[in-house]
Structure 1
Amino acid sequence: MPKSSLRRACAALAAGTSLALALTACGGTTKSDVQKEGAGAAAAAGKADPHAVTKTGLTVGFLPKQVNNPYFTTADKGGRQALAELGSKYKEVGPSSATDTSGQVSYVNTLTQQQVDAMAVSAQDPGALCTALKQAMSNGIKVVTYDSDTKTDCRNAFVSQASAEDLGRTEVQLLARQIGYKGEIAILSAAQTATNQNTWIDFMKDELKDPKYKDVKLVKIAYGNDDPQQSFQQTQGLLQEHPNLKGIISPTTVGIKAAAQYLSGSKYRGKVELTGLGTPNDMRKYVKNGTVEAFELWDPAKLGDLAARAAVALASGQITGREGETFKAGSTTYTIGKDGVISLGKPTVFDARNIDQYHF
C-alpha cells in the first residue's frame, strides 16, 4: 500500500480506536524500520543524501514548552519564517503552562494524528514524551527537539542553542567576576524536570569545583517553573532565607526577568548581582538602571529557524541525524555532532555597551 494511502487508513483507524494502538498497528514506517545508530534514533532506513532536493509543501508542527511565552514566541516566529522561505507550512500547538507535561504528550499525539511531516518539540521532561514521540517516528514523522532535549532514541536530532557546557560554565564565570569570586550564590531555575536547565546546572556545579571558586558557595537551587509570579516570589524567598546572598544565576528568560523586577525595586539593587539567560528587550531597562551588569543568550529566532530547517532536511532525506552528516541552513553549513546534536553556536554576552544593538 502506498504511504499516503496507509496514512489515510491509519487516520481512519485512529478515529475509531485508541491513537496509540492505531499508530502502532499501521504506521507508515514500523518501529523495526527505525534504525538506531549510536545513542540516538538517527533516522530511518537508508542513507542520507546531502544532494537530495529540498521538499516543499511539508507541514512542520512546532510544540514549545509553553505558548505565549515571549522566548518561544520569538523562537517559533523564526521557525515560521524559515518554513515560509522553504515553501512549507508551519503550525504551532502547545500548553499554556510550562509544567504541563501531560499536555505536551497530548499535543504530540495530535500532531501525529494530523499526519504532519515533521515536528519540532521543546521537551518539558526528558522521558515523559518518549512513547508519544516514538509513535510519531514509527509513523514516518521526523522529530527534532530544540531548546530542551528528550532521550536520544526518542527523536532524530536535537538543535541545541549552544554547547550545554559552554552555557553552564559561562554563567558561573560571569557571576563570579561580578561578585569578586567570593560569597554565597543561588540558582533560580525553571521546572525541576527541565532537561536543559538541569544539564546546565550540572555544568555550573562542575565549574564551581575549580579552586578559583573556593570562596564561592552555592547555597540553594530554587524553581520558579517559568512563571513570572512564582519566579518573583522565589527570588524574594531566596533573599529572605539567605540574607548574605551575593548573586543569583537564572538560566531562564522568565526567571531572570522576574528576579530583576524584584531586585530593581528592593534594597538589594546594586548589592546582589544577577545574571543568567535573558532577552535584550526584557532586560534592557535593568541593565540601564544598574540592576544587572551582564547576562547572555543566543538569538532564539535563529534557534527556531535552525530547528525548522533541520526538520525539513530530515524530511527531505538530506540528513538522518547521524554524527558527521552536514547540511546547509541559510548561508551556514552545520555538522551533526555526537548523539544527533546540532549546535547553534556560542552564546552572546549582553551588557550596557552592546545591548541596544539587539532587538528581540
Structure 2
Amino acid sequence: MSQRLTSTSRTGIALAATAALALGLSACGGTTKTSTDKATTGAPAGSSASAAPNAATKTGLTVAFLPKQVNNPYFTISDNGGKAALSSLGENYKEVGTSSGTDTAGQVSYVNTLTQQQVSAIAVSAQDPGALCTALKQAMSNGIKVVTYDSDTNPDCRQLFVSQASSEALGRSEVDLLGKQLNYTGDIAILSAAQTATNQNTWIGYMQDELKQPKFAKMKLVKIAYGNDDAQTSFQQTQGLLQQYPNLKGIISPTTVGIKAAAQYLTGSKYKGQVMLTGLGTPNDMRSYVKDGTVQGFELWDPAKLGSLAAYAATALASGQITGAAGQTFKAGDLGTFTIGDKGVVLLGQPTVFDKSNIDQFNF
C-alpha cells in the first residue's frame, strides 16, 4: 500500500538509501555517544490521544537515536543531523546501538536500557519490523515517545515513522532507472540488505509489481540476493550473481552498502560497462564509479535531513504538540512544516537521481 503523505514545505535535497558502510567494517560490540498507551494493531501508538498544537516546545529533553548500525557512515550523517536539530532546540542528544546491522537482540537491549534511563524519546531505525515491538511498547507505556526513521517497525509499536521518501516511488523509480539503461531488455537481479529489513522488503515489493507493467515484459528478475548490509558479503554476493547468471544484464541494490560493494566488484571485472548497476547510494561513495562509467545513475535522499526531521518529530511528540494522528502538522526548523499521513507516516520528500551531470554538486 502506498504511503501517501506530503510535506507542505521541502527544502534541500530529498534523497533515498538505507546505509553506507566501507569494505571490511567489523561487526562487533556496541557504542554509546552522548551530548550535553497501548496501541491498536495497524495504527500508530497513542494516536488517539489529544494534541496541543500551540504548546511551547519543551527544552532539556533527551532524545536517544538508535540506528540500525553505529559507526556506519550513512547513520553517522543521519544521526548528526538529528544532533544538530536537537542542539538548536535546546535538547539533549544521545546515540546508542550495535555495530552489526543484524543484531536485533542488541537493539532490544538498548531499548530496554533507554527505558530504564527514562529518556524523553527514542528515534530508532529498526532492523526487524516486529523484534523491537515488546520493548518499544514498554517504553511507550513508561511515557517515552517513539519515532522510527529509515526503517519502520509495525505501526502499533511507535507513534511516528519518518520515511525517506514514498516507498512506492522508490521501488518503482529504481526499476525504471535500470529499464532505461537496459533499453527494457534482459535478466536482472536485486542485491538487498538483510532479509528482515522492513524498508528493503517494501521497496522490493514495489519493484516486483512495477516489473509487471507491459514496458518491462522483456526484463526478468532472476534472483534476490542479500548482503546483510555488510560490504564484504555484498561484494561476494555480486560476484556470485554474475557467476550464477552469465546472461545477467543489470543489478538493483537498494542499499548504499550493497551498491558500493557491487560497483567495486564491477569496476575491476570484465562486466564493467556490460552489466548495469543502480540503486540507492551516497554521492561521495559513488562518484568515482559514475565518472568511470561503471554506474550511469542512482538515487538517494539527504540522510542528515532525515535525522533532523526525526529529531523535530520526536521533540514535537515529547512536547505534546502532536500525537501521531493523521492530519496533524508540526514545524521542523528550516525543513518546513510537515503533515502526518496514514499510519503515522511523515514523508521527507521525493528521491533524487545522481549522474554525471549533477553528482559533483553534492558532498555527502
TM-score, normalized by length of structure 2?
0.88
Report whether the alignment pairs 1:188 with 2:199: no
Q: What do you get for the CA RMSD once the two structures are aligned?
A: 1.1
Identical columns (%):
75
Shift of residue 38, structure 1, vs aligned partner? 7.8
Shift of 1:45: 7.0
8 A Cα contact 1:35 1:44, kept in partner: no
Cα pair 2:45 2:157 within 8 Å, conserved: no
Pick from 133, 140, 144: which aligns with 2:143? 140
Map of 2:12 onto structure 1:
none
Structure 2 residue 205 is the aligned partner of structure 1 residue 202: yes
Q: Is the 8 A contact 1:297 1:349 kept in 2?
A: yes
Tell me: CA distance 1:329–1:38, structure 2 relative to 1, closer, same or farther (3 Å): farther
Partner amino acid, structure 2, of 1:228: A
Conservation of the 8 A alpha-carbon contact between 2:125 and 2:149: yes
Corresponding residue pairs, total: 327
CA distance in 2, matches of 1:77, 1:275: 27
Question: Is 2:259 the partner of 1:253?
Answer: no
Q: CA–CA distance in 1 between the matches of 2:225 and 2:135?
A: 30
CA offsets 1:74-117 (integer angstroms, 9 cap, x no match)? 10010010000110011100111001111110011111111100
- Any gaps of 5 or more consecutive residues in structure 2? 1-36
Q: How far apart are the structure 1 equivalents of 2:48 and 2:197?
A: 31
Deviations 1:316-346 (A, max 9, x none): 0111000000111114110000000000000
Aligned partner (choices 232, 242, 247) of residue 244 of structure 1: 247
User: Structure 1 residues 38 and 95 mapped into 2: Cα distance closer, same or farther (>3 Å)?
Assistant: closer
Q: Choose which of 83, 86, 89 in structure 2 pairs with 1:86.
A: 89
Gaps of 5+ in 1: 1-33
Is residue 49 from structure 1 mapped to residue 52 from structure 2 by the alignment?
Answer: yes
Pick aligned residue for 2:296 from 293, 298, 309: 293
CA distance in 2, matches of 1:210, 1:257: 28
The residue correspondences of 1:1-360 to structure 2 (distance < 5 A) are 34=37, 36=39, 39-43=42-46, 46-331=49-334, 332-360=336-364
- Structure with the bigger RCO (C-alpha within 8 Å, sep 6+) is 2
2: CA distance, partners of 1:314 / 1:277:
30
What is the deviation of 1:165?
Answer: 0.3
- Conserved in 1, the CA contact under 8 Å of 2:164 and 2:348? yes
| One-letter code aligned to 2:338 | Y
Q: What is the rounded CA distance, in whole Å, between the counterparts of 2:72 and 2:187 in structure 1?
A: 31
